[in-house]
Amino acid sequence: MAVNAYLNFNGNCREAVEFYAQVFGTEEPKLMTFGEMPPNPEYPLPEEAKNLIMHTQLDIFGSNVMFSDVFPGMPFVVGSNINLALVTEDIEALQSAFGKLKEGGKVGMELQETFWSKCYGSLSDKFGVVWQFNLGSV
């Protein structure tokens, strides 16, 4: 059994997931749009929803992270209740991801030694997603 993070975006999911795939060096994501759903005459799909991402996912350092756009008209708050923890034994990968994700974002805590980790840091990326970085097991 696994717990997966699911991130919602307000029309820029495609840009976000492609950015994360590049940052973490994953395979190109398979994108499913709302327009690919089987049509339902009782609930016609609005034109503005057709190219929005209904679902996609990435394997980021062995964790499955899922993404989607919110359906038009649904409430959306950037970063609400989303916090992802990246835990790895590879300091170079940790530093690389931190460096790339902080571009256009806001650093909460630069990478540094703490009482629980030789290297820890946190930031909010350019999409408003909060990330924690931890070297070693938690």
- pLDDT surpassing 60 at residue 138: no
Q: What is the CATH number of domain 3-135?
A: 3.10.180.10
Q: Are strands 83-88 and 32-33 parallel, antiparallel or unpaired?
A: unpaired
pTM for the structure as a whole: 0.76
What's the whole-number average pLDDT of the chain? 89
Single-letter amino acid code for the residue at 20: Y
**pLDDT tens by residue, 43-71:** 888 999 999 999 999 999 999 898 999 88
Farthest-apart Cα atoms in the chain, separation = 58
Q: How confident is the model at residue 80 (pLDDT cuts 50, 70, 90)?
A: low
pLDDT of the residue at 78: 75
